[in-house]
Every structure is written in structure tokens, then in C-alpha cells.
A and B are shown apart, each in its own frame.
Chain A
């Protein structure tokens, strides 16, 4: 009765082999590498580029131990981090700004393993070092921004249609337009209705004035919020690319949050600076009629704001925004005709058209180019428009250094954020701490396993050895499964692994105790084994399902570190059910099933002097 059909043995053998195969890559370690990936669609990584890079490395006497050419990029492996860092500098100056050159770690596992998808687990930030940010999108800010844009559009519609109005103002989440008469209002509503699908209009009179209150429709609001988050993610991705990070993770978390993980980043200040900056460009007109002296005394004329030009005096700038940074397709640092540092901008079609019209209508007047960085607005330059500028090529040259020009270009190129963002969570782990955490997690699991193994083998003798082998197979399955799923291993995940070892043995203890019980009650060895496995099954299922329930609770409600722990815990329960019951049973059947047993090798059992069960 303790025999398994052949197919069961085969299934078990195959799964152990697979477990072994997929666990192995984790033990090859990683070597430093430089990764070159294209930043623009027209830049390609091909064999020609690889050859060029290899030549450069050979010329510089930088030995490399291997190259990988993929559609997404080129990876070059080095023996040590010193060579890696030197090579990164040389390679990034070689390929220029069309590519991202980043430091990375590559698994050392053999090629054929990688081909069958046997890859090591991805190490979490707490194990490899790096930065984790959670950013929250300021939705109110996004709303204000889009309302401002809507007011500008509404104003130009009124002008185009020659509808007289007495003023247009933003009042918190609404725009209020005052009209001279109702006729004008009616006409405006019809015209607006054609052009602005996302707006809701409500007429009302106050103080004998015809007013129109305009708000954004709720469904449009939701859509705008989603787009704001999506656009911010795109912007962040561009910025991270500029930073040169291999394998960054940028993803949405909840309705208005974004998670950014930069493994291996050590200069956190720079990362934070680039990510946190919400620079955008605004083009507005300078109000030259306004009274500057009065403004300096505190009475700024309505519809204008007071700013100081970089390296110049104060000036009044109209509030109306004519053009924003999202029309910029490219920004490069350079020099102007007078050899002063400058930023060269390229605008998109729409932007070019607006800019052309703007400059045509305002020849001889001053326009202001403002750089808006998180609550800080600065007039970079306020040149006089000499002629119409077409073609979408604009040059900003204020009083800036070449480093400033480079930074401004980088920020503008990386794009403006659709809405301001704020860092609400940060976790930075230094690289040395990461390495320590790996060994701590590994040692906890290893010594925990050894302690349990020693005890169980001493207590249950041969059957105990089988239980321990099943436990080892369990760990193998767990690591193999995590590797196949390409799960991210974290320190809490390793704790989960250790805990799985401690809890998985429960199933085998239940079985072994049952077998002992059956023997005490006088069952024959084979019957005792059979009944032990059969009767323990109910309890094993119940105990594991309740623990699984707790694991699921952690997975659903937990965040970050807790989730990692919960995933390992849940997977561990699944592998336990298979290995502790099926694998250990297979071993028992194979070793003891086909022969007569005088006794079950399950350690010495104290037999009862008299039976307990004479009720």
C-alpha cells in the first residue's frame, strides 16, 4: 500500500530537476558591467557600434570579459568596478548624448541558462543598495495649472469671436467671466460649447452683471488626473534616463502616486535634485506700461506679477501665459552669437505656430522667458522682440554660466511635469549595507535550517532524514519558483524564507507524530506509515490554509517590505504542501514501500504501559 505509480516518481524527479536548474543561477554571482542603451529612436545599438566601442576600450587598455548585444542595448562586462567606472566615463564620451550609459550588474550564469530563462532573482534595493522614492502628485496644483490654460484659451476664443467681456478670473476651482450684457453671454456659451467639450457652463447674475461660471466636468477631471499622473511618469522616465541608471523602476501606485526605484544609485542628492525639480518654461509678455515703483512699494497692478530678471532689475510681467514648456521638443546647451552660454530650443508644430504669431504681433515689445521651479519663478531673460521668429527655433541667452545652461537644457529636455510632485517616502540604502543584509538574511536561513535539520534528524532518525531532505527540496522549490517569477528578493523576503523553513517542518512533524501514534496503537509498520500520511493530511491542509489566509491579508493590505515577506510566505506554503507531503512520501515509499519492515525507522518511541483508550 505504500507504493507510488511510476508517473508520480517521474513528476517529482522532473520538478526537483527544474527546481535545481532555476535555483542555480542565484549562486553564480554578478559582475560589474556597463550598459549602453539608445535614448532616441533614431539611435541604434548594432554590431557596428559594438565594434567601435570595443576598439575604444582596446585603445585605452581597459580589459573587458564579455559583451552582449541586444536590441535594447549593449552590455559590456568587466572584471572589477574600477575598470567599470573608468570604462563608463570613456564610453559615455564616445557615444555622446544619444545614448544612456549606465553602470549595471550582470549575472555570471552561463549563456545556456540565460537562454532557457533561468535567471537569478532580482535583488531588492535593501540588498543591492539604491534609492526608493514615492512621489505624490499634487492634484490641486494640476487643476490650477489646467484652469489657467483654459482661461487663456477662453480669452482668445472671446477675442477671436469678438465677444465683449468685462473680465475673466479664476476663483479656486472655477473660472468666472463677467459680461456687459446677456446677449454676449449667450453668444459666448454657444461658441464655448463648440470648442470646449470638457467644460460645464452655468449662467448667473451678481450685482447686475451677467456672469458665466465655468467648471471642469467631473469625468473630464478624472481623465485629466490620470493623464497628469501618466505624463509625470513619462517625464520622470526621461529624467531618470538622463541620470543614467540601469534598470530603473517607475510605476504608478494608487491613484496619485508614483514609485521610483533607482538601484545602485549612490549620488542620492543628484537623483533627488533631478527628480524633484519641476522646472518648466513659460513665455509671457512684459507689462511695460505698469508702474514699477508702485509695484515695488507693494501695489502690483492687477493681472501682472513682479519679478526680478536674472542679473537685471525688477520688471512687471503679465499673468497670461502665452506658451509653456510642454511645447518644447528639444533643448540643447550652446552659445549665442556673442559667445555667451545659451540654450537652444526646438518647439513642436503647435508651439512654433504660437511663437510665430506671438512674435509677429509684438515686434518691438519685450517678452519674458520664465523658468518655474517648485514655487520659485525666475525671469531668465526678457529680450525685446526684433522680428517675427518662425521655424520653431528659439534661443535663450540670459546671464547664465555654461553649467547653468546645461542644467536648464537638461531640465527642459526632460520635460515639464504635468503637475507638481512631492516626495512622500524615501528609502536609501548604501551599497555596503546592502551586501551586509544579503549575508545576514542568508545566514539566518542557513543556520536556522541547520538547527532544525539537526534536531529533526536526531529526533526521528531515518524518517527524520527524509523530512529534512523534503525541507531542503522545499527551499529549492521556493527559490526556483521565485527565480522563475523573477520576483524581487528583499530582506523581509529572506526572513519569510527562513520562517518558511521553520513552519514547513510542521507538516512533517504532524505526519511523523501520527506514524508514531499509529505504532503506539499497535499498527504494523507499513500500515502505520500509510495511516500517518493519510490522517495528517486534514490537519496539514487546515494549518497551511489558515497561514495562507494571513499571508494573503499581508499581501493585499501590506506595502513595500511587507508585500515581499507576504509573497514568499504564500509561495512557501504552496511548496510546503507539495514537498512535505508528496516528496517525503515518495522517498518513504521508494525506500521502505517495497519490502517487509520489522519496524519503522522513526527513532525510539516510548510505548504506553497501558492503553489510554478504554473509554
Chain B
């Protein structure tokens, strides 16, 4: 089997203007959505209580809401979760309920109405912890981004680092934009997925940059655009197969992982798809824009060659 054999290099860089415009537009849309709608932050970050309970029979949500209102929690959000028998209850953080005694009160009230109700999961996060988690998440993102730029600058050249991280942060922005636009819940696992994507998406740019460097050495007369186009075309099949494989696993997580892994897998999916796009269509135009030259990469190797060929 062989899906890919391109007789000619695909002129990816020629579409640079188009792809940059497209990316700029969706990035602006993502930012717009983030600013106006914001993220639907999970209890991990906002603080509060989430409870998962399960009934023997399909749950009557209105009754559950009424019971909660009766014990002084009219602002509880009650919704089905997974199946019709599973219910998720969200309670905002309240000053008077320090510690986890809130969930006990809720489960006691619900048990009084229907003794068969089973408590599946409780998550309580105090507001101070939530703020810290958010702060640490942003710090991690910063640390990883700077680490990647530094590594690529050391391994290749700063222009590669910058173009790569711009492409990557673009992916992250799109993921965040999607989560904001659709108001999917953004919890700790999604944050982990975003950071994993930050590391994973770089692979693409690294493989291409690696080829670019090799081509600069091999195709001595070709100009920069040609070298980059050739590098992308040559690595195309690896890109698709690798990402396809990763996506197969992510799909398996979407299908079998249940609710707990659903948003994690969703974030990975968006990240993988846009990762392919951005490393091909965004990273290379930026690289050309920044004026990447043959000398940037083959500097060290040139000297001994000059001595060898007088």
C-alpha cells in the first residue's frame, strides 16, 4: 500500500497568503469568541461542587431540581449525563459551605426522596485552589512554549523556533476558540490535552525543518521556496500516516473512554487536525517571511567543505 507519491513538489508556499489570511480570520474569530463568550470553565478552575449520581430508573430532573431548591440550592445546575439514569449536579462555590459538607447535605436530601440513588462521584474544589490551577496551567503553557522555541533555536535556528511556535500557538488558539464557541466544558484534562498538543504538534515542524536542513545541503542550487516545498512534499506521507495513527487512538478514546475522556479526546482531535494544517500551511510561509536562508542552517558544515575543495 502506498497512498502518496507526488511526481512534482506541491507548491505549498504559493498558497501562503491564502492560508495566512484564513488562519488570521479564524484566529480573530477564536479570540472574539474567547473575549465575548469566554471559556466554560469546569469546577477545577472556578471552584464549586460537581456531583454525579445515578438512579435505578430514568431520573426526573425537575424533581431533583425541586429537592435541591428546597434545601436552599436553587442555583444548582442539574442535567443528564451519559445515560438518562445518570445525573450531574453542579453547585457554585459558596462561602458558607466551606469544606465538603455540601455534597453530604445534597445526597442526604436525595436519599430521603429515593433511597436507591447512588453517589458515583463528588468533586469539590475550593476557589483558592481553582485560581491556582488556572495559574499553573498558564505557567505550564508559557514554560513549554519557551522551551520549544529555545530547543528549536538551538537545534536549527531562531527563525524555525519562532515560525514553529506561532503555528503551534495558532493550534492552541483554535482549540480554545472551539471550546469557547461551542461552550464545551474546559477542565483539567482538556488543559493537559492542549499542552500535549503543544508538544506533539511541534513534531511536524521539526520533521519538516529537519528535511529543510537536509535539502539545503543536498539541493545546493535550489532556492529557499523550492527547498521548503520539497521538504513538505517529501514528508507528506509520514505526516498523514502518523497523524492518522494518533487520530485512530484518539477516536478509540472518544468511543470507549466515556465521559471522563470525552473532552480530552475532542481537544486532541482538533489539535491533531489543525496541527497538520498549521505546520504545513502556516509555519513555512512564516519561515519564508522571516527570511530563512541557506546560511542559517549550513553555516557550520560549510567551513570544512571549503577547505576540502580549494
Q: Which residues of A contact B (CB under 8 A)?
A: 126, 133-134, 136, 268-269, 272, 276, 422-430, 432-433, 436-437, 440-441, 443-445, 447-449, 451-452, 455-456, 458-460, 491-492, 495, 498-499, 501-503, 505-506, 509-510, 513, 516-517, 538-539, 542-543, 545-554, 556-562, 565-566, 569, 603-610, 612-613, 615
**Residue interface mask B188-232, A partner, CB < 8 A = 1:** 110110011011101100110010000000111110001000100
Report chain A residues within 8 Å CB of B123.
Answer: 426-428
Known: A423-B100, A430-B120, A558-B140. A546 touches B151 (CB 8 A): yes
Choice from B151, B238, B256 contacting A443 with Cβ under 8 Å = B256
Smallest CB gap from A603: residue in B: B1
B239-260 residues at the A interface, CB under 8 angstroms = 241-242, 244-253, 255-258, 260
* A272 & B99 in contact (Cβ 8 Å cutoff): yes
Cα distance, A483 to B202, chains bound together (Å): 30
Does B261 make an interface contact (CB < 8 A)? yes
CB distance from A517 to the nearest CB of B (A): 7
Partner of A513 from the list B241, B249, B250 (CB cut-off 8 Å) is B241
User: Known contacts A133-B100, A539-B206; is A604 also within 8 Å of B241 by CB?
Assistant: no
| Stretch of B3-11, B67-75, B174-182, B287-295 lying at the A interface | B3-11
With a CB–CB cut-off of 8 A, which chain B residues contact A613? 218-219
Which residues of B are found within 8 Å of A460, using beta-carbon distances? 1
A432 and B210 contact, Cβ closer than 8 Å, known pairs A440-B256, A499-B196, A502-B250: no
A459 lies within 8 A of B241 (CB): yes
Selecting from B13-21, B56-64, B141-149, B298-306, the interface stretch reads B141-149
Residues of B within 8 A of A550 (CB): 144, 148, 195-196, 198-200, 202
Interface of A is mostly: helix
CA distance A603 to B4 in the complex (A): 13
Chain B residue with the shortest CB-CB distance to A461: B1
Q: Which residues of B contact A510 (CB under 8 A)?
A: 207, 238, 242
List 29 A–B pairs whose Cβ atoms lie within 8 Å, in order of A's numbering: A134-B129, A136-B126, A268-B122, A426-B122, A426-B124, A430-B119, A432-B118, A440-B257, A441-B257, A443-B252, A448-B249, A448-B250, A503-B246, A513-B238, A539-B207, A543-B207, A547-B196, A549-B199, A550-B195, A550-B200, A553-B140, A553-B143, A553-B147, A553-B199, A559-B133, A604-B1, A612-B7, A613-B219, A615-B221
Residue of A nearest to B136 (CB): A557
Complex Cα distance A603/B2, Å? Answer: 8
Whether B252 and A447, one on each chain, are in contact in the complex, defined by CB atoms closer than 8 angstroms, is yes
| B192 and A547 form a contact (CB under 8 A) | no
Residue of A424, A444, A506, A615 near B252 (CB, 8 A) is A444
Q: Are A433 and B121 in contact (CB under 8 A)?
A: yes
A422, A427, A491: the one contacting B98 at CB < 8 Å is A422
User: Chain B residues with Cβ under 8 A from A549's Cβ?
Assistant: 144, 147-148, 151, 199
B155 within 8 A of A: yes
Does B12 touch A at the CB level, under 8 Å?
no
Across the interface, do B238 and A440 meet the contact criterion of CB distance under 8 Å?
Answer: no
Determine whether the beta carbon of A498 is less than 8 Å from that of B101. no
Partner of A506, one of B52, B203, B222: B203
Q: A136-B126, A436-B258, A553-B147 are in contact. List 20 more A-B contacts (CB 8 A).
A: A268-B122, A425-B125, A426-B100, A437-B260, A440-B258, A444-B256, A451-B251, A452-B249, A492-B192, A499-B196, A501-B249, A502-B249, A538-B210, A543-B206, A559-B136, A565-B196, A566-B192, A607-B5, A608-B5, A612-B9
Q: How far is the CB of B7 from chain A (nearest CB, A)?
A: 6
State A600–B9 Cα separation when bound (angstroms): 26
Residue B36, interface by CB 8 Å: no
Which A residue's beta carbon lies closest to that of B237?
A: A513
Interface contact A455-B264, CB-CB below 8 Å: no
A272 to B198, CA, bound (A): 39
Interface range on chain B (Cβ under 8 Å from partner) = 35 or more
**Closest beta carbon of chain A to B139's beta carbon, Å:** 5
A450 nearest CB across to chain B (Å): 8
B192 touching A554, Cβ below 8 Å: yes
A441: chain B residues at CB < 8 Å are 257, 261
User: Chain A residue with minimal CB distance to B250?
Assistant: A502
B250 to chain A, nearest CB (A): 7
A268–chain B nearest beta-carbon distance, Å: 7
Chain A hits for B143, CB < 8 A: 553, 556-557
Give Cα A116 to B54, complex, Å. Answer: 43
Complex CA gap A430/B117 in Å reads 12
Q: How far is the CB of B87 from chain A (nearest CB, A)?
A: 13
For B98, list chain A residues within 8 Å (CB): 422-423
Give the chain B neighbours of A452 by CB distance below 8 A. 245, 248-249
Once A458-B1, A610-B7 are accepted as A-B contacts, the answer to whether A505 and B242 lie under 8 Å apart by CB is yes
Selected from A545, A554, A557, the residue in CB contact (under 8 A) with B151 is: A545
A272-B119 contact in complex given A516-B2, A612-B9, C-beta closer than 8 Å: no
| Contact in complex: B207, A451 (CB < 8 Å) | no
Report the minimal beta-carbon distance from A536 to chain B, rounded to whole angstroms: 9
**Which residues of chain A are near B1, meaning CB under 8 Å?**
458-460, 603-604
- Known contacts A430-B121, A502-B245, A560-B188; is-contact A447 B256 (Cβ 8 Å): yes
Contacts of A432 in B (CB 8 A): 118, 120
Contacts of A430 in B (CB 8 A): 118-121
